[in-house]
Structure 1
Amino acid sequence: MSIVEDLADGLAKTTLEAMDHIDDDRFYDQVSRVIGASSPTLQEAFMTAIRVRLAERRGREYVSKALAAAKSGSAAPKAPADFGAGGH
């Protein structure tokens, strides 16, 4: 990774931890604006890191719920519709 990506990912990790503690799921928008005022390059890398980490978090939550459903014999949770798979 480049220094920009390393810094952005570190800040993304810290921001996600802060979001959990302050109970604000959009706090990363504020952080993004703060760093964007000084470095649009870091801002873009930060937003990429945030999106990837949030997606990974949601994926893990889905897997956890699916496993819990399988263990209890209930129906697995539905995945979101895939609007990117052909069509409009």
Structure 2
Amino acid sequence: MQDLADALARDVLAGSVDLEDPYFFEQVAKVVGASSPTLQEAFMTSIRIRLAEKRGREFLNKALAAKRAGTKMPEAPREAEKGGH
């Protein structure tokens, strides 16, 4: 089930770009949840993980670029100090 949810999450996030709606996953979650709350939770977990990985990778790339350019390193978001959400 997790593989199914993760594949859907991957496809929905990719489709969100084409739809120009970064929150399209919320609508999909409602549709999925109407039939299977269990799949909905697995889907949302995959969405959160994929979005967090994207943010982490973007931060890493900015930090590496700053280091190479000899400029100030970016600061982590304030919510990171509190342990996330």
Counterpart for residue 44 of structure 1: 41
Task: Report the alpha carbon displacement of residue 22 of structure 1 after superposing the two structures with TM.
Answer: 1.6
Residue 83 of structure 1 aligns with an amino acid whose one-letter code is K
Q: Identical aligned pairs, as a percentage?
A: 56
Relative to the length of structure 1, the TM-score reads 0.88
Deviation at 1:19, TM superposition (A): 1.1
In structure 1, what is the equivalent of residue 10 of structure 2?
13
User: Which residue matches 1:80?
Assistant: 77
**Counterparts of 1:41 and 1:15, CA distance in 2:** 18
RMSD between superposed Cα atoms in Å: 0.8
Aligned residues: 81
Unpaired runs of at least 5, structure 1: none
Shift of 1:67: 0.7
| TM-score normalized by the length of structure 2 | 0.91
- The CA distance in 2 between the partners of 1:34 and 1:14, in whole Å, is 15
Instruction: Work out the CA distance in 2 between the residues paired with 1:37 and 1:44.
Output: 12
Q: Does 1:68 align with 2:65?
A: yes
1:21 deviates by: 1.6
* Structure 2 spans left out of the alignment, 5+ residues: none
How many Å apart are 1:83 and its aligned residue?
1.2
Partner deviation per Cα, 1:33-75 (whole Å, 9 max, x = no partner): 0100000000000000000000000000000011111111111
Q: Which residue of 2 aligns with 1:31?
A: 28
> Which runs of structure 1 show a deviation greater than 4 angstroms over 4 or more consecutive aligned residues?
none
